[in-house]
């Protein structure tokens, strides 16, 4: 008999991992609201708004990192276009937030300010219905998925892979960025969407809203991790890994790599879009620079630093790099690029498995000191 899905999902994590997930959920959904809303600011345990927005933002990045890890760490496909999907999700949800401003904008019009500014009389066709939360939620999921599917279908069918694929995705993102920078395309040009006021009628800057968004981001990250874990431990995940390691052999055995790659690619794009949609209300702005070439490559470095081919690695990597970024850009802005550049080089040269791999190696090293030399070979392999 086939094991029920929920059981299989439950089994994809071992007991200790479930404990960690539970701990994290308790922290994000119970401890954070209490520490932010109920404690007075003088209390040493009080969490500031800065902490909530920064961490919430990084949680969204972590979702993107896990999505990137699915396609890169397990599928062997390095995408330099994930910034595009992230931004598309962000833009779709950003438009909903723009519509929520209503007549409170500087021009007191039903249309968003930037459209009034361009002297537009009505919404362009693709934004019709963007005042409905459900429709926008659908847009967030469907548009990036559709673009990813169509692009991926043609790319994978032509067996474009490796560096070629990376460069093509980069060109795609770059073209989209140029398009979004234009004023007349209906995406707000340079400034993008900003000055949000409400979400579902609630004030977007209220501490309660922030806490809810934070919790939602945490839940989305847990969901992403669960789904990813389930996928990579299933038969699908094994075929995917096999395609990564020896695509031709997998083909000769009788699998068609196209659909495996296409599925994980589209899924990865959708996860990015969700992350983008959660990111925009927390940060309060979305503009075309999210699609810049540099941003998409930075996603890859989160994954590389954390550890490819592990699921916790990208989350750790996203936190390390982004915490370092917010620390550097405040304290030593002129050294941030030096640090980031060095990180790219060090991570690729000396940390092929990221910090998670380093941790595993160190533990294996310690065990080797303690007992059998058998672990050496294993540790070296990892």
Partner 1 sequence: MRTIGLLLCGWLLSAASVQAAIDPSLLKPLASEDSDTKIMAIAALAQAAPDEALPVLKALADNALAVSGERLLIVDGERVFDAASNTEIKPAPVARETIGINNRVRRELSGALAALRLFSAEREVRWQAAQELTLSADAKMLPLLDKALAAETDSAIRARLQLAHAQASLGSTDAGVRHVAVRALGESSDPNVRQLLIPLTEKRGDAWIEPDSAVRAAAGTSIRAIEQRLAWADNLGRAFTGLSLGSILLLAALGLAITYGVMGVINMAHGELLMVGAYSAWAMQSVFRAYLPSALDWYLLAAIPVGFLAAALVGVLMERIVIRHLYGRPLETLLATWGISLFLMQVARTLFGAQNVEVANPVWMAGGIEVLPNLMLPWNRIIIVAFSIAVLAAMWAILNLSRLGMFVRAVTQNRAMAGCVGVPTGRVDTLAFGLGAGIAGLGGVALSQIANVGPDMGQGYIVDSFMVVVLGGVGQLAGAVWAALGLGVFTKFLEGWTGAVVAKIVVLVFIIIFIQKRPQGLFALKGRFVES
Return residues touching partner 1 (CB under 8 A).
Answer: 72, 78, 151, 154-155, 157-160, 162-164, 166-168, 170-172, 174-175, 178-179, 181-182, 247-248, 293-294, 297, 300-301, 304, 334-335, 337-338, 340-345, 347-349, 352
What CA–CA distance (Å, rounded) separates 373 from 376? 6
Place of tokens 């409400």: 198
Minimum Å distance from CB 144 to partner 1?
17
What residues are paired with 194 via a beta bridge?
285
Residue number, 52 or 300, with CB nearest to partner 1: 300
Token output for 340: 């980031």
What CA–CA distance (Å, rounded) separates 373 from 380? 12
Residue number, 77 or 277, with CB nearest to partner 1: 77
Residue number, 93 or 302, with CB nearest to partner 1: 302
Q: Are the C-beta atoms of residues 269 and 85 closer than 8 Å to each other?
A: yes
What does residue 285 show for φ and ψ, rounded to 5 degrees?
-155, 150
CA 29 to chain centre: 20
Minimum Å distance from CB 171 to partner 1?
5
Minimum Å distance from CB 310 to partner 1?
17
Residue number, 128 or 337, with CB nearest to partner 1: 337
Minimum Å distance from CB 174 to partner 1?
5
Token output for 327: 């620390």
Residue number, 216 or 356, with CB nearest to partner 1: 356
Residue 264 CB burial class (10 angstroms; 0-12, 13-18, ≥19): buried
Residue number, 100 or 169, with CB nearest to partner 1: 169
Minimum Å distance from CB 143 to partner 1?
17
What CA–CA distance (Å, rounded) separates 281 from 90? 9
Token output for 119: 């002297």
Minimum Å distance from CB 178 to partner 1?
5
Place of tokens 């096999």: 242
Q: How many CA atoms lie within 13 A of 352 on its CB side?
A: 4
Residue number, 15 or 345, with CB nearest to partner 1: 345
Minimum Å distance from CB 276 to partner 1?
21
């Amino acid at each position: 008999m086939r094991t029920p899905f929920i059981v299989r999902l439950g089994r994809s994590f071992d007991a200790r991992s479930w404990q960690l997930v539970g701990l994290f959920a308790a922290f994000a959904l119970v401890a954070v609201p209490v520490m932010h809303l109920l404690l007075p600011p003088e209390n040493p345990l009080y969490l500031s708004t800065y902490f909530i927005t920064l961490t919430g933002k990084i949680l969204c990045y972590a979702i993107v990192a896990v999505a990137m890890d699915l396609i890169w760490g397990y599928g062997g496909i390095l995408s330099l276009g994930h910034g595009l999907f992230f931004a598309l999700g962000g833009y779709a949800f950003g438009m909903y937030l723009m519509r929520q401003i209503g007549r409170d904008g500087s021009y007191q019009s039903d249309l968003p300010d930037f459209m009034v500014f361009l002297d537009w009389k009505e919404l362009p066709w693709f934004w019709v219905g963007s005042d409905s939360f459900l429709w926008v939620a659908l847009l967030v999921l469907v548009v990036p998925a559709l673009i990813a599917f169509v692009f991926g279908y043609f790319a994978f069918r032509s067996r474009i892979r490796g560096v070629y694929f990376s460069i093509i995705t980069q060109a795609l993102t770059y073209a989209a960025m140029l398009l979004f920078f234009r004023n007349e395309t209906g995406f707000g040009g340079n400034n993008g969407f900003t000055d949000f006021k409400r979400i579902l009628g609630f004030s977007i800057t209220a501490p309660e809203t922030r806490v809810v968004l934070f919790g939602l981001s945490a839940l989305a990250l847990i969901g992403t991790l669960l789904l990813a874990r389930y996928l990579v431990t299933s038969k699908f995940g094994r075929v995917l890994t096999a395609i990564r390691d020896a695509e031709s052999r997998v083909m000769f055995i009788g699998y068609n790599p196209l659909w495996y790659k296409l599925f994980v690619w589209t899924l990865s794009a959708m996860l990015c879009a969700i992350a983008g949609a959660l990111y925009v209300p927390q940060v309060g702005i979305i503009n075309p620079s999210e699609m810049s070439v540099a941003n998409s490559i930075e996603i890859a470095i989160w994954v590389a630093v954390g550890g490819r081919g592990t699921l916790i690695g990208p989350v750790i990597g996203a936190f390390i790099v982004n915490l370092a970024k917010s620390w550097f850009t405040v304290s030593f802005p002129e050294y941030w690029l030096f640090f980031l550049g060095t990180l790219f080089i060090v991570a690729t040269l000396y940390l092929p498995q990221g910090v998670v791999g380093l941790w595993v190696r160190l533990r294996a090293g310690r065990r080797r000191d303690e007992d059998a030399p058998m672990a050496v070979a294993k540790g070296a392999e990892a």
